[in-house]
Amino acid sequence: MALYYPDDEALERLRLVGRGSDHPLVRCQGFIFDVDGVLCRGEDPIPRAAEAIERLRRGGKRVVFLSNNSTKSREDYLAKFARLGIPVIEDDLVLSTYATAEYIAREKPGAKVYMVGAPGLRRELELAGLELVEDPFVAEYVVVGSAFDGTGRIREDNAHRITGALRALYHAGAKFIATNPDRIFPAKDGVIPGTGAIIGALSYMLGREPDAVIGKPSTHIVEIALARLGIPPSGCAFVGDMDTDMLAGKRLGMTTVFVRSGAMTEEVLRSLGIEPDFAFDSVIDMLAVEG
């Protein structure tokens, strides 16, 4: 039995049958999708990814999209998803910018935050009701995201911020929070530094690791996505193209689905000792599982 059929009548029959199916993917009610390598490669949509999402939703499944992107707000991502042909509202998006803001707002509502990073991060911190401060000596939290633009140049408004963050951590005893642990990114002319460049600089200077890293493979961001789904992890699947996706899903007891449409080959994944529950060429193939 296929997981979903394209026509509604067949879908209706299958949903009834599907409730009795033993296939773990048919039983899953919630799906967390990584974005790059799963739904798109950069700006190019992965063929039939939008159709797969639509069919899952029509089948009554709940879907959220999760990305370690530390430079964009959810608002920024609405346009990206429109280009991919996947209808979303902001509540469907869990980016590391938003998840970091949520994490701090839950721990200390209205906290004073000194940030290193892009305007998208600033926007989410503000939306969560946190107080952005320019004086490092009054900061309760230092939040670190990527401070580089797409060409690898440090953003002008961040030139003084590594010093500011250092002072907030050293003098003011601020908590050290990183949006994501990604060290480098591929770009057109070669790799560029990721958030890891700033984490590394501060960690080395101070001899301490961040108090929390929110993005994958940490479970913080996934817990926020699961809360959004409102379904226990045992009833949810994590669909991704990297080891970090599989690790984050496994740590929380989710079903893990690897797709071969992204940056990492299945061979490399398995050589790292990571066994996904299922592997498919791309997301559309996931819908054809037999149960």
- Catalytic residue check, 7: no
Residue 142 to residue 140: CA distance in whole angstroms: 7
Q: Which is nearer to Mg ion, 152 or 185 (CB)?
A: 185
Q: Which is nearer to Mg ion, 76 or 140 (CB)?
A: 76
**Residue 24 Cβ, how far from Mg ion at the closest point, in Å?**
22
Inter-residue contact 242 to 262 (CB < 8 Å): yes
**29 phi, psi to nearest 5 deg:** -105, -20
The residue among 257, 249, 241 whose CA lies nearest residue 225 is 249
Residue 215 in contact with Mg ion, rule: CB under 5 A? no
Q: Which is nearer to Mg ion, 167 or 260 (CB)?
A: 260
- Catalytic residue check, 34: yes
Which residue in the list 7, 22, 34, 277 is annotated as catalytic?
A: 34
Which residue in the list 36, 92, 182, 245 is annotated as catalytic?
A: 36
Question: How far from 277 is each of 23, 142, 258, CA to CA, in Å?
Answer: 11, 37, 8
The residue among 193, 221, 13, 251 whose CA lies nearest residue 100 is 221
Scanning residues 36 to 55, which ones bind Mg ion (CB under 5 A)? 36-37
- In the bound state, the residue with its beta carbon closest to Mg ion is 37
Residue 213 to residue 229: CA distance in whole angstroms: 22
Residue 136 to residue 268: CA distance in whole angstroms: 42
> Which residue from 34, 102, 182, 243 is in contact with Mg ion, where contact means CB under 5 A?
34
**Residue 242 Cβ, how far from Mg ion at the closest point, in Å?**
5
Site string for Mg ion, 229-258 (x = CB under 5 A): ------------x-----------------
Footprint of Mg ion (CB under 5 A): 34, 36-37, 241
Residues belonging to the active site: 34, 36
